[in-house]
């Protein structure tokens, strides 16, 4: 097989989404001086992220709008100098995207799968960021040692299942900030018992990035009572 054929096999079929216009302005606002690092992270997602099975090839043409910026818009909502635990971090979404946008916040990326942890470790090392720690564990295994100001998660599971996993990682006055889709309100309704058992205030749905992204990000936020 020719070397050209080998290269074509390794690279994704579609070109990455160009960072320009509205998306570039959003990226400049959110990442500021760390925008070159965010570009490097996006390259990782579009190459080794695909070959490691962390993202599907069809995500490449919307890597900024659907993934990196979709997560980074949560950055301005995080408390300065705080700690964030990202549960089921996978491809570092939202954890790495947020860590790049908020160098003043410390992040713990909690991920049980060895293959994903190896990838996260390699990417964090390549980016050279010092506000990220990768922890190989399930959320329930680290509830005694993690006390975060904010717990995030994206595309992990339904709110009903997610609440018992994430709330034990919160500090006493901590807050859940969970990235969700359009069915957020229905998930909240279905999670009534879990919300009550976890002693959470009534969750609220917030749309972020309406002023800068083609599709805003839906976040479910809830504090302890």
Q: Model confidence over 126-135: pLDDT tens digits? A: 999 999 999 9
Would you place residue 68 in the very low, low, confident or very high pLDDT band (cuts 50, 70, 90)? Answer: very high
Q: What pLDDT does 12 receive?
A: 41
Torsion of CA 180, 182, 185, 189, to 10 degrees: -80
User: Please, are residues 152 and 74 in contact by the beta-carbon 8 Å criterion?
Assistant: yes
Residue percentage of the chain with pLDDT more than 90:
89
Average per-residue pLDDT for the chain: 93
Q: Model confidence over 71-108: pLDDT tens digits? A: 999 999 999 999 999 999 999 999 999 999 999 999 99
- Extract the tokens encoding 182: 């359009």
3-class DSSP assignment, residue 160: helix
Domain extent listing, the chain: 15-223
Q: Model confidence over 186-206: pLDDT tens digits? A: 999 999 999 999 999 999 999
Among candidates 72, 85, 51, which has minimal Cα distance to 170? 85
Torsion of CA 79, 87, 51, 47, to 10 degrees: 0
Tell me how crowded residue 58 is: count the other CB atoms within 10 A of its CB.
11
Q: What pLDDT does 109 receive?
A: 98
Specify the pTM: 0.92
More confident residue, 9 or 93: 93
Q: Model confidence over 24-66: pLDDT tens digits? A: 999 999 999 999 999 999 999 999 999 999 999 999 999 999 9
As a CATH number, domain 15-223 is 3.40.50.150
Would you place residue 7 in the very low, low, confident or very high pLDDT band (cuts 50, 70, 90)? Answer: very low
């Amino acid at each position: 097989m020719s070397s050209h054929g080998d290269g074509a096999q390794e690279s994704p079929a579609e070109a990455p989404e160009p960072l320009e216009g509205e998306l570039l302005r959003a990226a400049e606002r959110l990442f500021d001086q760390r925008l070159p690092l965010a570009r490097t992270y996006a390259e990782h997602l579009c190459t080794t992220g695909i070959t490691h099975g962390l993202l599907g090839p069809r995500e490449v043409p919307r890597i900024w709008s659907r993934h990196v910026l979709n997560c980074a818009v949560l950055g301005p909502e995080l408390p300065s100098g705080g700690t964030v635990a990202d549960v089921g971090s996978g491809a570092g979404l939202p954890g790495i995207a947020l860590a790049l946008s908020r160098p003043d916040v410390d992040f713990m990326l909690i991920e049980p799968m060895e293959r994903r942890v190896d990838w996260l470790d390699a990417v964090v090392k390549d980016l050279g960021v010092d506000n990220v720690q990768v922890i190989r564990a399930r959320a329930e295994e680290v509830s005694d040692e993690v006390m975060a100001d904010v717990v995030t998660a994206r595309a992990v599971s339904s709110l009903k299942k997610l609440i018992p996993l994430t709330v034990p990682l919160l500090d006493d006055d901590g807050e859940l900030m969970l990235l969700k889709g359009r069915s957020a309100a229905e998930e909240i309704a279905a999670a009534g018992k879990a919300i009550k058992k976890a002693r959470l205030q009534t969750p609220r749905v917030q749309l972020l990035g309406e002023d800068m992204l083609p599709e805003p990000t839906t976040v479910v936020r809830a504090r302890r009572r």
